[in-house]
Every structure is written in C-alpha cells, then in structure tokens.
Amino acid sequence: MNSSKDAMSVASLTQAITLLLREEIGIVRVTGEISGFTTAASGHRYFTLKDESAQIDCVMWASRTLSFRPKSGMQVVVQGRLTVYATRGKYQIDCDRMTAAGQGDLYLAFAALKEELAERGYFDPERKRDIPALPLKIGVVTSPTGAVIQDILSTLNRRSPHCQIYLCPATVQGDAAPEEIAKAIVVLQNTDADVLIVGRGGGSIEDLWAFNTLPVADAIYHSRIPIISAVGHETDFTIADFVADLRAATPTAAAELVSQCDRDTLWQQITFWESRLTRNVQLEMQNYQQRLTNLSNSYAFENFSDRLHDRAQQLDEAERDMQKSLIRHLRQSSSKLESITAHLRSLHPLSPLQRGFALLQVDDRFLSNNESLTTFDKVEIVRRSEIAQVKIEKVHDRPE
C-alpha cells in the first residue's frame, strides 16, 4: 500500500475543515472581551475574543461598518461564520457584525418600539401641533437637580422673565424613570401651561433609555399641550423625540425656542396691531361715507332725501360709537401694557433693592437661598445705592 498516494494535502484538509465548519455550525453569535485589537493599513480589523477559559481569533473586513470604535478590554457581541485561516492553520470568526455587549438588545428593543409606534401613527406629521409663538406659561419635566434645569431656568429668566414656569420634577434615569416622567406629563395637563419641555442631559443609550419606553411615548402622544422633546445632545435621538411635537437639539435650545419674543418684541407687536386697527377703522369709515355719498347722489334716491338724512345721522352716531369703542379698547390695551411692564420690572433681580432689601454677592455673583454663609469668609452686601464689604465671623440658623 502506497501511503503517500492516499494521503490528503494540507490545503485539501484545511478546505474540508472550512466546509465542515460552514455547513455544520453556520452563523454564530459570540460574546467576549476584545484583546489585541488592531486595524491594518488596509482597514481590516484583527482581534482576539476571549473569556475566562478560552479565546478565538476574529477578523472584520474594512467593508463591514461599525457604529462604535472597538478597543481592547471592551465586552462585545460578534456575529459571523467560522472559517479557517489556511496560512496558519487556525480557525477564526469572520465577523459580519459587532455590537457593544449590553447595547445590542437595547438597540433591537428601540427599533422594535419605533416600528410599532410608527405603524400606530405616533410619528405622523399631521398630528403634530405648532409651538405657541408667545407662550406665557411653560411646563418643564426634568430632574430638579443638575445642570439641565439650571440651563433652562437661566435661559428663560434672561430672555423671557415675564413667563411663568411650572416645574414638575421626575427621575430621568433608572427603572423608576419612565413612570415618573409619564406621571409628570399627566400632572401638567391639569395646569394652564402653553407648552411643555421634557428632557435631560446627554449620556449613553442606557442613560437615555427612559425616553425610549412606551409609558413616556404614550404620555407625550396623549398630551393636550404641545411638547418639545430635549433629550441628550444634538446627536442623540430617542422615541420621545419622534413622538413630540418638536425636537430640540439640547435643553438650552428648547428654552430658546419658547422664549423668542422678549419685552421689546412684545411692545412692537402691540404697537403694530394698534396702528393696524386704527387704519382699518379709518378705511372702513371712508368706504361707508363714499357709499353714502353715491347713494344720495343717485337718481333713484332723489325723492328720498329725508330717509337719507336719517341714515346719515345714524351713520354719524355709529361713527361716534365706534370711535368711543376704539378709544376704550386703546385705553384697555394701554392699561394692560402698563400692567405687564410693571410686572416685568418687579421680576428684575435688583427690584427688591428699591424696597430696602439687600442682596449678598461673592466674586461678582449673587448668592442663592440654598448657599450657606458658612462657606465664605467675606461677602458684599448690595443695597440700592451702596455696597458694603463684610467679614463673616459667625452664622446662626434662623428659627422657623
């Protein structure tokens, strides 16, 4: 027996193993930790996937896209086919897809809910409402602590200090967050708010997940008040963004959207409509006067001068009544404008100084009610016409 004649070549054996792996095992999904991740000049990626007791080589060709940047030590889930690298005689996973471990399921859940709500019409443009051009009462659903609420309040106080703000606090991250956010939206339905801002700061998909849930989507969809979704950063998109009437890139951008009309713009609008109303009344009066003149000069009414005189007198009386009504309307508008102006002045941060109050200041900023004097050595007392520099020696809690 000639043993060399019956023997297989190494290449043939490797090819047989490759076919066996493809046919018997097929596509696999494997989770593990990346080790030795490298990207060749060609763009192909090579790495080892390992766990506590084993490891396997992996390759992902440059033509296959990634939604994140892998690195050694990262837990991932890969999907692909088992193959054999003939040159070294080692089997490896030819990866078609890779996701960060723990995110793959979330992305699938996100896509499934998005598809379901789209079929139910939650995202239809026809149902979305316009945001009021001049909202005076604004509801906010977010965490009561952190930078987001401070950014929203500071933007609104600077651009539209005349607005009234309803803050309904809610946890925006964690297992309890979806129900708290949805409940806060429902609570604000019982107010006279003109628009709602619902949002939080940026983060990972896990951090923003509360806004990818059905309870929050339902609460936004059934809201009778227009809602602006302001979740995360400009590149972050959630289910809440698609359901809301309008998406803002950031919470600060949402506050800017609802505060586009300041006091000067409001005054210009009132002046414009006052002028337009006066002009329309004048034109209408001229039109009636011309019609009356035409009728009185017509042949058909030559014998009805007395009746025309009566109509003329009635017209004069109507003109006087209209002028009185216009004057009364203008006075009411002027009184309302004075009231709004007085209210705006009262909201100015320094207005309490006119009544004898004082503000505490450190390093060119005013102290809030939540800051204790025990953390400072020196403060400035700002009054209407003077500033006193004082040194803190002792602080007592004021009894309730």
Tell me the per-residue pLDDT of 139-168, one tens digit each, with 9 for 90 and over: 999 999 888 999 999 999 888 888 899 999
Same domain, 117 and 205: yes
| Mean pLDDT score, 191-200 | 94
pLDDT of residue 95: 92
Q: How confident is the model at residue 45 (pLDDT cuts 50, 70, 90)?
A: very high
CATH assignment at residue 14 = 2.40.50.140
| Mean pLDDT score, 371-386 | 82
Number of domains forming the structure of the chain: 4
Q: How confident is the model at residue 65 (pLDDT cuts 50, 70, 90)?
A: confident
pLDDT of residue 105: 64
Same domain, 22 and 139: no
The answer as to whether 397 is a domain residue is no
Residue 245 has pLDDT above 90, yes or no: yes
Question: What b/e readout covers 182-211, taking b as 16+ CB neighbours within 10 angstroms?
Answer: bebbeebeeeebbbbbbbbbeeebebbbbb
Last residue of one domain, picked from the residues 241, 257, 273: 257
Last residue of one domain, picked from the residues 257, 282, 316: 257
| Mean pLDDT score, 253-271 | 78
pLDDT of residue 303: 59
pLDDT of residue 76: 87
The answer as to whether 400 is a domain residue is no
The answer as to whether 396 is a domain residue is no
Residue 102 has pLDDT above 70, yes or no: no
| Mean pLDDT score, 310-329 | 84
Same domain, 116 and 208: yes
pLDDT of residue 103: 59
Same domain, 49 and 113: no
Q: Which residues contact 174 (CB under 8 A, 6 or more apart)?
A: 210
Same domain, 253 and 283: no
Domain extent, residue 36, equals: 3-101
> For the chain, what is the mean pLDDT?
85
Last residue of one domain, picked from the residues 40, 75, 101: 101
Same domain, 293 and 366: no
Same domain, 135 and 245: yes
Same domain, 143 and 224: yes
Q: How confident is the model at residue 262 (pLDDT cuts 50, 70, 90)?
A: low
Same domain, 25 and 153: no
The answer as to whether 224 is a domain residue is yes
For the chain, give the percent of residues with pLDDT over 90: 31
Between 9 and 129, where is the model more confident? 129
Residue 301 has pLDDT above 80, yes or no: no
The answer as to whether 399 is a domain residue is no
The answer as to whether 88 is a domain residue is yes
CATH assignment at residue 212 = 3.40.50.261
Same domain, 112 and 229: yes
Same domain, 114 and 223: yes
Same domain, 225 and 206: yes
Residue 173 has pLDDT above 80, yes or no: yes
| Mean pLDDT score, 370-380 | 81
